Structure 1
Amino acid sequence: MLFPNPTKTDYVTLRPKDKIFRQISVCLRSYTELTRKHSLFSMATHRWHNAFLIYPKPSKYICVSINNEDIYFKPGPDALEWKHICVTWDSETGLLQLWINGKRYPRRVTKTRSPIVPPISVILGQEQDRFGGSFDYYQSFVGELTDVNMWDYVVSPATIMAYFADYYTISGNVYSWTREKYSVTGPVSILRNQFYQK
């Protein structure tokens, strides 16, 4: 998916299975020249507009929000390259993990231990300030996104490492990039069977 311009009107809506998430994993690949903050993956519920949010500000931090609790990781200087990002969270222990290009960053523990409950709204390319909308031009994503997958369990480190090292496709059991449906709003281009490199 190619998001060509900063807007507050262009986005992609995913249609994952509606369920209670006591554990969650999201993996995706992104490529961008943005140096400002932007949203890659935004899940909202009626209670929390940032139920599960992946929100980088290149060269400074990546924020992961769980039920509106912001947790900051500092991955260091960004090179212009495809980034394979995986985030896993377990509501029982609060353990939050961020992986970028096969490297795990120091683990964190969230204060919130409440599961994410349906209904959910999942948006790519924009950050939801209310369920399904209220987007901000200056938080929009510009660049390419691919291989977005979701699971209702914590994906193992071995699987994440193998995925990055071997560059093979894995499919989420809640949302699979290769099987599930999505809808596009605005001029977001869907580039099928295009070659890209790590």
Structure 2
Amino acid sequence: MKTLPILFVLLSGCFALTGQNVLLFPKESVTDYVILKPTVEQALKQLTVCVRSYSDLHREHSLFSLSTPGKGNAFLIYPVPPNKICISINSEDLYFNVDPDVLDWKKTCVAWDSETGLLQLWVNAKRYPRRVTTSRSPIGPQRSVILGQDQDSFGGGFEASQCFVGEMSDVNMWDYVLDTKTISNNYLYKSGNIFSWTNGTKEIKGGVIGLEKYCNSL
């Protein structure tokens, strides 16, 4: 009987960590991707993006790609395993040295402020040394937002060698810099006001598969 409370706690934790639908990107291709439809149309002076991902890729790949008609990489989250992440702002590439990848779910958050150029990266609630971009131009207002591929042109220009293969969930966008306390809480689910994973519009392309749910503790 003593094991029952422990089991109950474990199961309760499982339910608490259960996220929304998971997208499975099963293979290397230029046809598998997901289009997000943000609700805000004006140019973004600030931006925060968070995404959970699970992959055993050992090559560089695109998690989140936002392009505008004039810039393919207006905002790009681009891991370069085993221990770097490239963030592109208005086609300016900034590299962060991060802890080596482990085979587990990973929460990546990026925040940028055009007024100061301050660029911040968190991986699994750990903030890495901040950078400052030279670009201070707002992003948009016309935007193409794609998961799983790197846009070299507006809405296209994909390369299979840069695609994401694995699982993705809990992608949220805000038009402001999310506070450090919120981002540092690795298991706090907060819906984005530009795009919400819970009720935002997604358009699945190619062989991407939508899965029901997952639990971090399993």
Given the two structures, how large is their TM-score scaled by the length of structure 1? 0.96
Q: Distance in 1 between matches of 2:195 and 2:83?
A: 30
Matched pairs, number: 195
Letter in 1 for 2:166: G
| Residue in structure 1 matching 2:151, options 113, 120, 128 | 128
Q: Work out whether 1:188 is the aligned partner of 2:212.
A: no
Kept after mapping to 1: 8 A contact 2:62/2:163: yes
Contact 2:37 2:145 in 1 (8 A): yes
| Root-mean-square deviation over aligned CA pairs | 1.1
Alignment partners' CA distance in 2, 1:101 and 1:76: 10
Q: What SS does the aligned partner of 1:112 have?
A: coil
**Is 1:89 equivalent to 2:112 in the alignment?**
yes
The aligned amino acid for 1:186 is G
The answer to whether residue 161 in structure 2 is matched with residue 141 in structure 1 is no
Q: Which residue of 2 aligns with 1:50?
A: 73
Are 2:84 and 2:98, in contact at CA under 8 Å, matched by a contact in 1?
yes
Deviation at 1:194, TM superposition (A): 2.7
Counterpart amino acid of 2:116?
Answer: T
In structure 2, distance between residues paired with 1:34 and 1:197: 22
Which of these residues, 150, 154, 170, is aligned with residue 190 of structure 2?
170
Partner of 1:15: 37
Match of 2:13 in 1: none
Give per-residue Cα distances to partners, 1:99-152, cap 9 Å, x unaligned.
Answer: 000100000000000000221000000000100001000000000000000000
- Partner residue in 2 for 1:39: 62
Could you tell me whether the CA contact under 8 Å between 1:25 and 1:155 is conserved in 2? yes
**1:82–1:197 CA contact under 8 A, matched in 2:** no
Report what 1:2 is aligned to. 24
3-state SS in 1 of match to 2:38: coil
Q: Distance in 2 between matches of 1:64 and 1:32?
A: 19
Contact 1:58/1:78 (8 A) holds in 2: yes
**Does the residue aligned with 1:194 lie in a helix, a strand or coil?**
coil
Q: Any stretches of 5+ residues in structure 2 without a counterpart?
A: 1-22
Dislocated runs of 4+, deviation >4 Å: none
Pairing 1:85-124 to 2, within 5 Å after superposition: 85-124=108-147
Deviates more, 1:73-82 or 1:32-41: 73-82
Q: Which structure has the bigger radius of gyration?
A: 2
Give the Cα separation in 1 of the matches to 2:168 and 2:83.
Answer: 21
* Unaligned segments of structure 1, at least 5 residues: none
Find the aligned partners of 2:171 and 2:84 in 1 and give their Cα distance.
21
Name the SS for the 1:160 alignment partner.
Answer: helix
2:199 counterpart residue number: 179
CA distance in structure 2 between the aligned counterparts of 1:153 and 1:105, rounded to whole angstroms = 19
Q: Give the match's secondary structure for 1:147.
A: strand
The yes-or-no answer on 1:79 pairing with 2:102 is yes
Q: 1:135 to 1:174 in 2, by over 3 A?
A: same
Percent sequence identity is 56
Q: Is residue 49–residue 173 contact of structure 2 (8 Å, CA) maintained in 1?
A: yes
Q: TM-score, normalised by structure 2?
A: 0.87
Q: Distance in 2 between matches of 1:88 and 1:119?
A: 20
Provide the rounded CA distance (Å) in 1 between the counterparts of 2:117 and 2:73: 16
Secondary structure of the residue aligned to 1:73 is strand
Q: CA deviation at 1:45?
A: 0.1
Q: Which moved more, 1:77-86 or 1:25-34?
A: 77-86
